[in-house]
């Protein structure tokens, strides 16, 4: 997977053109509720549709279950839950962003996947201080796009949750 | 290559390896009985096995050599140098044939008449010279290439990491293969099937190969024991010998890593606590030197390692006192507990019986850690002991940790895998269908098994899949699980199948879930969770604390001998009938408790009858002073045996209690066994046998026993090959199987207070043969009625005669598997009819 170099070159914030690609960070974007989030492409292993999932009884509530991804066991985590948003009553089609952390595989479940965007990382605004603490903890900054804001997800904090909750 | 043939070759090659060394000693000292024994054993095993595999050439030569060796072993004939040469030549010939067999999967053509004639000649005309001269050229004429190669292969060292990585890759391959097979099955494309089958075979071979590469003999762990023990003995001022049996037994290296420390601790413990100081030993009439024996052997799908000493044995009274002193049990409980139950306290954290704290042990940190470590990998440890004769710790271990044999069960629409190692029994429960039922005791669910009440937990509730007080289906299966001293039943909806699964560790965010140890991917691609029985026990204990305190507080009876245990507590059904005095019957005899509308009871010819489950069931009053109620519902206790039923009419069911039963006999009341104090109240214990003929005239010709009793078979055979072939077969036929590798082991097993229903013994065994065993058993009154089935690879009329005289009930050819199963079933059903008559 291509890893975009962090560039000291100062250009405009929005320049998703091929010529400047090497100066930008690519983000895999995804929608949760009506918010756009971005994860640096270097942190993303793959994006996949979940066909079947095995729920784990007594697991922390943000762990939705285990998924077989080509012979690997992937732990599915609800980004909605992590953001303090309600779970939809019925998820028709689950889309997950595959992430590796400490040698273990996770699938972060999102509502839908957006485009891959090229953005200059150092033009991101810092996280507004009055953001919900849960959100603030997962945000590595906010990019202003033409039509919306994009929250850069801090992958390690998405996966950081206490695991001593043993019952729903 | 045929599985059995391969196993035979492996086993024989291992023996040949040993004998290679022994032969050197045999040459030097031909009358050394140990060496003779080993050589005899090899020849004997070959003979026993190749008859089964259809290898006449090997069988003939082995038979002739065995006969001659047998004579030497009995010490009737002195071994002459020419005999040594003859034996060496025979072994060489066996090697040659085995090597050919390995190469071509068939015996090479040719005859061994030359050697056999000489062997037989030596047998009839003992000492004759000039034989060597004739023999030597024959032996050398044998082609030698290949036979060394089979046993002394070049080796290569690889790092453990490489092996572990290989294992992981193979596991992945197995999973992928399973998925492919599943896909192909659905598509039904024959073009796909052929390469897939090939892939499947290769995968299996690869898996076996890698598994084998991970195996290490347990001897590698034992190697340091002699030194440890020597140092200990010097420190403690004792003299101790160490005997190692079965050091070649192989275990997965991961398992070995785990048991290294527990085993060392057990040996230290035996040296410190078990073996007495020399003076004390001499005073007790024992040899000055104590012996600690380490033995390891395969037992079905697991490995058993025993650490035994010939020391003073456990001091049960002392353990009782300490347990009371530590507040673990009350004085009354201490009195009531059986020795076996008491012995388990030594695995309790912080429990030490050492008089003084020594540098070796006695700090109370050893045994509970031993147990914890062994439990951790799905093993178990038990202790048995005889005062003055020694203590044996029996450690059962899984063969490997990477692949686990599991039972797949269904709960609340989800599937789970339960390791078979911890499953004792599987019982179908269904209300109102004549199967076992789950009953309610206060708010706790229990289930009757023989004369024991087993706490039952609905798995769904434990997993939070149903609300705590929601309707629990009582139609399903109970998986009886035993971990350490805790036994309980897990109620599941369905039992699907058994499957060998590759364990994948759980994500670290799920590792604090006590009930799961990992997950696996099944052939259909779905993931299922693997249940961790040890964690279930802890969850169960928490659950029990909140819900069923009475059941949890009860001490755990010894599982193996609940059936005929007269010392331990007995479950009693207490009821009132006629008089005010409470009456009771052993719960184990009771089939069901019923309340029947009086209007349904019919009278015919002065007898009371009830239409019950499609039968006319006779009803009998529990007390002659009773009469039927005019209306409403009549309580009754139902007894059954096969298709016979009888209802005992009572006024009111009071309780189910478990108590130590001391019965005082009552002289002139045939309807009573006697009276006893049950839970502080005088209670009449009913003699069920008195009431049964009142209902059915012929009932006493049959045994009144709880149904579905698992019969225990003791299988005695010196050949691991036969043991591992027959034991699973018998288990599959529904028997509980204990195995012994010889007469001594068999007698040791029988000496334990567990119930062996029938003994199946090989007649031809080295050292002491099957007849020795049968004679020893028949010499003891308590084994007089024990049925014995003899296994033999050949039968001669004098043998049959001798066996008949000893009361052997049946002769079965060694390879006649179905014959053995039939004989067992015939013996056991005849026995259950005969006992009560």
Position B804 scores a pLDDT of 78
Write out residues 45-84 of B within 8 Å (CB-CB) of A.
none
Pick B528 or B254 by higher pLDDT: B528
Position B189 scores a pLDDT of 76
CA distances (Å), origin B666, targets B343, B661, B672, B685: 35, 15, 7, 10
Tokens standing for residue B514: 């006590």
Tokens standing for residue A161: 């949750």
Position B143 scores a pLDDT of 36
Q: How many CB atoms lie within 10 A of CB A83?
A: 19
Instruction: Look at residue B696 and tell me whether its pLDDT is greater than 70.
Output: no
Tokens standing for residue B432: 């109102």
Helices of type H across B696-792: 720-732, 743-751, 770-778
Radius of gyration of chain A (CA): 16
A48 part of contact set with chain B, CB < 8 Å: no
Position A37 scores a pLDDT of 92
User: How much is the mean pLDDT over chain B?
Assistant: 75
B511: closest chain A residue by CA: A163
CB contact under 8 A, B507 and A75: yes
* Domain map (residue ranges) of chain B: 3-151, 160-216, 218-398, 403-558, 570-701, 712-836
CB contact under 8 A, B513 and A52: no
CB contact under 8 A, B179 and A73: no
Position B473 scores a pLDDT of 58
Tokens standing for residue B419: 């390791």
Position B396 scores a pLDDT of 84
CB contact under 8 A, B510 and A52: no
Q: What percent of chain B has pLDDT over 90?
A: 3
* pLDDT confidence band for B455 (50 / 70 / 90): confident
Q: Per-residue pLDDT tens for B784-807?
A: 778 888 887 666 777 777 887 887
- Distance from C-alpha of A94 to C-alpha of B567, rounded to nearest angstrom: 61
Note whether B716 and B773 are within 8 A (CB).
Answer: yes
B188: left (phi over 0), alpha (psi -120 to 50) or beta: left
A167 part of contact set with chain B, CB < 8 Å: yes
Tokens standing for residue A71: 């012979």
- Chain pair A-B, CB pairs under 8 angstroms: 67
Mean pLDDT is lowest, of B127-136, B185-194, B605-614, for B127-136
CB contact under 8 A, B521 and A55: no
Q: Which residue pairs from A140-149 have beta carbons closer than 8 angstroms and sit at least 24 positions apart in sequence?
A: A143/A13, A143/A38, A143/A119, A144/A13, A145/A14, A145/A36, A145/A117, A146/A14, A148/A36, A149/A35, A149/A36
Contact residues on chain A for B521, CB-CB shorter than 8 A: 68, 71, 73
B712-836 maps to CATH 2.102.10.10: no
Most confident of B156-165, B356-365, B436-445: B156-165
Position B327 scores a pLDDT of 77
Pick B564 or B812 by higher pLDDT: B812
Q: Mention the CATH class of domain B3-151.
A: mainly alpha
- Distance from C-alpha of B229 to C-alpha of B463, rounded to nearest angstrom: 47
Position B658 scores a pLDDT of 72
3-state secondary structure of B794: coil
* pLDDT confidence band for B837 (50 / 70 / 90): very low
DSSP B462-521: HTTSS-TTSPPP--EEEEEEEETTEEEEEEESEEEEEEEEE-BPPPGGGTT-TTEEEEEE
Contact residues on chain B for A166, CB-CB shorter than 8 A: 512-513
Q: Per-residue pLDDT tens for B395-418?
A: 988 777 767 778 899 988 899 999
- Distance from C-alpha of B520 to C-alpha of B497, rounded to nearest angstrom: 15
- Distance from C-alpha of B582 to C-alpha of B731, rounded to nearest angstrom: 42
Beta-strand relationship, B758-762 and B215-217: unpaired
Beta-strand relationship, A104-110 and A94-101: antiparallel
- Distance from C-alpha of B811 to C-alpha of B806, rounded to nearest angstrom: 12
Pick B606 or B291 by higher pLDDT: B291
Q: Domain B218-398, what fold?
A: Heat Shock Protein 90 (3.30.565)
Contact residues on chain B for A165, CB-CB shorter than 8 A: none
B463 part of contact set with chain A, CB < 8 Å: yes
Beta-strand relationship, A139-144 and A104-110: unpaired
* pLDDT confidence band for B681 (50 / 70 / 90): confident
Tokens standing for residue A39: 């994860």
DSSP A58-115: T--TTEEEEEEETTEEEEEEEHHHHTTPPPPS--SSEEEEEEEETTEEEEEEESEEEE
- Distance from C-alpha of B779 to C-alpha of B760, rounded to nearest angstrom: 18
Q: How many CB atoms lie within 10 A of CB A61?
A: 12
CA-based nearest distance B176→chain A, Å: 7
Position B293 scores a pLDDT of 92
Q: Per-residue pLDDT tens for B88-101?
A: 788 888 888 888 88
Contact residues on chain A for B510, CB-CB shorter than 8 A: 56, 59, 63, 75, 163
Tokens standing for residue B119: 């062997």
Write out residues 59-118 of A within 8 Å (CB-CB) of B.
59-60, 63, 66-68, 71, 73, 75, 102, 104, 106
3-state secondary structure of B107: coil
Q: Per-residue pLDDT tens for B207-224?
A: 888 878 888 888 888 877
- Distance from C-alpha of B824 to C-alpha of B789, rounded to nearest angstrom: 8
A166: closest chain B residue by CA: B513
Mean pLDDT of B699-716: 56
Contact residues on chain B for A55, CB-CB shorter than 8 A: 414
SS3 of B420-475:
HHHEEEEEEECCCCCCECEEEECCEEEEEECCEEEEEEEHHHHCCCCCCCCCCCCC
Q: How many CB atoms lie within 10 A of CB A111?
A: 18
Mean pLDDT is lowest, of B80-84, B694-698, B723-727, for B694-698
DSSP B653-684: EEEEEEE---PBP-TT-TTEEEEEEETTEEEE
- Distance from C-alpha of B619 to C-alpha of B613, rounded to nearest angstrom: 14
Tokens standing for residue B639: 């007894």
Q: Per-residue pLDDT tens for A9-41?
A: 333 444 444 444 456 788 999 998 889 999 999
- For residue A130, give the DSSP letter: T
Position A4 scores a pLDDT of 41
B160-216 maps to CATH 3.10.50: no
Position B151 scores a pLDDT of 46
Pick B307 or B437 by higher pLDDT: B307
B482's CB contacts (< 8 A; 6+ apart) are B380, B422, B424, B559
DSSP A12-43: -SB---GGGGGGSEEEEEEEETTEEEEEEGGG
CB contact under 8 A, B414 and A167: no
CA distances (Å), origin B135, targets A41, B27, B40, B121, B127: 81, 16, 21, 13, 15
Q: CB-CB: which of A58, A66, A68 is closest to B464? A: A58
Helices of type H across B188-249: 190-214, 219-222, 225-236
Mean pLDDT is lowest, of B6-15, B25-34, B234-243, B696-705, for B696-705
How is the beta sheet containing A25-32 ordered, strand by strand?
Answer: A112-119, A25-32, A35-40, A149-153, A139-144
Note whether B214 and B185 are within 8 A (CB).
Answer: no
Question: Is B218-398's fold the same as B570-701's?
Answer: no
CA distances (Å), origin B645, targets B34, B584, B604, B641: 60, 19, 17, 7
Contact residues on chain A for B512, CB-CB shorter than 8 A: 163-164, 166
Q: Per-residue pLDDT tens for B7-33?
A: 778 777 777 766 766 766 676 677 777
Note whether B527 and B518 are within 8 A (CB).
Answer: no
Note whether B630 and B707 are within 8 A (CB).
Answer: no
Contact residues on chain B for A67, CB-CB shorter than 8 A: 527
Pick B703 or A86 by higher pLDDT: A86
Contact residues on chain B for A57, CB-CB shorter than 8 A: 414, 463-465, 515, 529
CA distances (Å), origin B111, targets A155, B208, B711: 76, 36, 46
Position B409 scores a pLDDT of 92
A167: closest chain B residue by CA: B464
Radius of gyration of chain B (CA): 30
Report CA B191 to chain centroid distance, whole Å. 46
3-state secondary structure of B330: coil
Mean pLDDT of B433-438: 69
Note whether B587 and B451 are within 8 A (CB).
Answer: yes
Mean pLDDT is lowest, of A151-165, B79-93, B442-456, B536-550, for B536-550
Instruction: Look at residue A6 and tell me whether its pLDDT is greater than 90.
Output: no
Mean pLDDT of B749-754: 71
Q: Domain B403-558, what fold?
A: OB fold (Dihydrolipoamide Acetyltransferase, E2P) (2.40.50)
CB contact under 8 A, B527 and A163: no
CB contact under 8 A, B464 and A57: yes
B180 part of contact set with chain A, CB < 8 Å: no
User: How much is the mean pLDDT over chain A?
Assistant: 79
Pick B422 or A54 by higher pLDDT: A54
- Distance from C-alpha of B393 to C-alpha of B381, rounded to nearest angstrom: 7
Mean pLDDT of B113-139: 57
Q: Which residue pairs from B600-607 have beta carbons closer than 8 angstroms and sit at least 24 positions apart in sequence?
A: B601/B628, B601/B634
Position B701 scores a pLDDT of 40
Position A54 scores a pLDDT of 92
Mean pLDDT of B711-723: 79
Domains of chain A by start residue, with CATH: 25-159 (2.40.50.180)
Q: CB-CB: which of B464, B509, B527 is closest to A73? A: B527
Cα angle B248, B251, B252; round to 5: 145
Q: Per-residue pLDDT tens for A75-129?
A: 999 998 888 888 777 777 789 999 988 878 999 999 989 989 888 777 778 887 7
B570-701 maps to CATH 3.40.50.720: no
Query: Positive or negative CA dihedral for B338, B339, B340, B343?
Result: positive
Instruction: Look at residue B141 and tell me whether its pLDDT is greater than 50.
Output: no
């Amino acid at each position: 997977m291509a890893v975009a170099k962090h560039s000291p070159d100062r250009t405009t914030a929005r320049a998703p053109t091929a010529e400047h690609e090497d100066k930008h960070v690519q983000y895999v974007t995804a929608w949760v509720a009506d918010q756009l989030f971005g994860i640096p492409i270097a942190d993303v292993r793959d994006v996949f549709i979940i066909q079947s999932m095995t729920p784990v009884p007594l697991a922390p509530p943000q762990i939705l279950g285990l998924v077989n991804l080509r012979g690997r066991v992937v732990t599915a985590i609800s980004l909605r839950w992590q953001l303090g948003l309600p779970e939809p009553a019925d998820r028709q089609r689950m889309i997950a962003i595959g992430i590796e952390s400490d040698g273990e595989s996770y699938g972060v479940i999102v509502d839908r996947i957006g485009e891959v965007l090229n953005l200059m990382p150092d033009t991101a605004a810092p996280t507004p201080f009055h953001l919900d603490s849960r959100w603030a903890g997962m945000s590595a900054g906010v990019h202003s796009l033409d039509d919306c804001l994009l929250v850069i997800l801090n992958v390690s904090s998405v996966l950081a949750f206490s695991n001593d909750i043993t019952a729903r | 290559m045929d599985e059995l043939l391969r196993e035979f070759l492996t086993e024989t090659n291992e023996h040949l390896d040993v004998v290679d060394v022994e032969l050197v000693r045999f040459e030097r000292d031909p009358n050394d009985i140990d060496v003779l024994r080993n050589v005899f054993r090899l020849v004997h095993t070959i003979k026993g096995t190749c008859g089964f595999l259809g290898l006449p050439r090997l069988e003939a030569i082995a038979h002739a050599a065995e006969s001659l060796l047998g004579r030497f072993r009995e010490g009737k004939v002195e071994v002459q140098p020419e005999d040594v040469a003859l034996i060496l030549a025979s072994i060489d010939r066996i090697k040659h044939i085995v090597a050919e067999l390995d190469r071509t999967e068939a015996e090479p053509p040719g005859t061994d008449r030359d050697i056999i004639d000489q062997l037989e000649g030596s047998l009839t005309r003992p000492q004759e010279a000039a034989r060597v001269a004739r023999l030597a050229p024959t032996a050398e004429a044998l082609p030698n290439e290949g036979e060394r190669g089979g046993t002394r292969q070049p080796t290569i060292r690889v790092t453990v990491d490489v092996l572990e990585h290989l294992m992981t890759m193979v596991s992945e391959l197995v999973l992928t293969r399973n998925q492919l097979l599943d896909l192909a099955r659905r598509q039904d494309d024959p073009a796909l099937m052929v390469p897939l089958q090939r892939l499947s075979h290769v995968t299996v071979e690869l898996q076996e190969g890698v598994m084998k590469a991970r195996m290490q003999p347990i001897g590698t762990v034992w190697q340091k024991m002699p030194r440890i023990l020597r140092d200990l003995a010097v420190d403690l001022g004792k003299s101790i010998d160490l005997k190692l049996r079965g050091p070649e037994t192989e275990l997965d290296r991961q398992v070995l890593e785990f048991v290294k420390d527990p085993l060392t601790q057990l040996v230290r413990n035996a040296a410190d606590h078990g073996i007495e100081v020399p003076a004390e030993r001499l005073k007790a009439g024992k040899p000055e030197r104590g012996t600690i024996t380490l033995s390891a052997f395969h037992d079905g799908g697991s490995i058993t390692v025993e650490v035994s000493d010939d020391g003073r044995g456990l001091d049960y009274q002392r353990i009782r006192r300490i347990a009371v002193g530590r507040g673990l049990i009350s004085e009354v409980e201490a009195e009531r507990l059986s020795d076996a139950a008491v012995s388990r306290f030594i695995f309790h954290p912080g429990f030490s019986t050492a008089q003084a704290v020594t540098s070796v042990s006695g700090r109370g940190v050893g045994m509970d850690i031993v147990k914890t470590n062994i439990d951790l990998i799905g093993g178990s440890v038990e202790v048995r002991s005889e005062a003055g004769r020694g203590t044996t710790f029996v450690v059962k271990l899984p063969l490997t940790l990477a692949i686990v044999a599991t039972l797949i069960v269904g709960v609340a629409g989800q599937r789970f895998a339960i390791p078979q190692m911890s499953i004792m029994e599987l019982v179908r429960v269904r209300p109102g269908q004549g199967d076992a039922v789950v009953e309610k005791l206060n708010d706790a669910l229990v289930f009757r098994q023989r004369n024991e009440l087993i706490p039952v937990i609905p798995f769904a509730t434990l997993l939070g899949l149903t609300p705590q007080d929601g309707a629990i289906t009582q139609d399903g299966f109970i998986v009886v699980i035993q971990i350490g001293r805790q036994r309980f039943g897990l109620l599941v909806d369905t039992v699907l199948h058994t499957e060998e699964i590759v364990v994948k560790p759980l994500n670290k965010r799920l590792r604090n879930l006590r009930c799961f140890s990992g997950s696996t991917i099944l052939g259909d691609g779905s993931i299922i969770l693997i249940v961790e029985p040890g964690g279930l026990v802890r969850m169960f204990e928490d659950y029990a604390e909140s819900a069923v305190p009475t059941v949890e507080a009860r001490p755990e009876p010894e599982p193996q001998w609940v059936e005929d245990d007269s010392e331990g507590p007995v479950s009693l059904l207490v009821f009132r009938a006629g008089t005010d005095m409470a009456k009771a019957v052993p719960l184990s005899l009771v089939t069901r408790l019923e309340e029947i509308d009086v209007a349904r009871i019919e009278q015919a010819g002065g007898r009371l009858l009830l239409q019950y489950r499609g039968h006319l069931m006779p009803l009998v009053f529990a007390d002659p002073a009773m009469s039927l109620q005019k209306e409403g519902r009549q309580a009754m206790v139902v007894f059954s045996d096969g298709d016979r039923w009888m209802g005992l009419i009572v006024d009111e069911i009071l309780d189910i209690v478990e108590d130590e039963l001391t019965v005082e006999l009552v002289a002139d009341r045939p309807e009573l066994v006697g009276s006893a104090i049950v839970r502080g109240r005088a209670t009449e214990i009913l003699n069920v046998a008195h009431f049964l003929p009142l209902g059915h005239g012929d009932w006493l010709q049959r045994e009144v026993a709880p149904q579905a009793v698992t019969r225990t078979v003791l299988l005695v055979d010196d050949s691991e090959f036969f043991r591992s072939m027959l034991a699973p077969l018998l288990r599959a036929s529904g028997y509980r199987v204990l195995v012994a590798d010889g007469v001594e082991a068999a007698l040791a097993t029988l000496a334990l207070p567990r119930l062996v229903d029938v003994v199946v013994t090989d007649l031809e065994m080295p050292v002491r043969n099957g007849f020795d065993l049968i004679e020893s058993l028949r010499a003891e009154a308590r084994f007089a009625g024990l049925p014995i089935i003899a296994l033999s690879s050949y039968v001669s009329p004098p043998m049959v005669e001798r066996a008949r005289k000893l009361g052997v009930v049946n002769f079965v050819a060694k390879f006649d598997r179905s014959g053995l199963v039939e004989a067992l079933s015939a013996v056991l059903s005849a026995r259950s009819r005969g006992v009560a008559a």
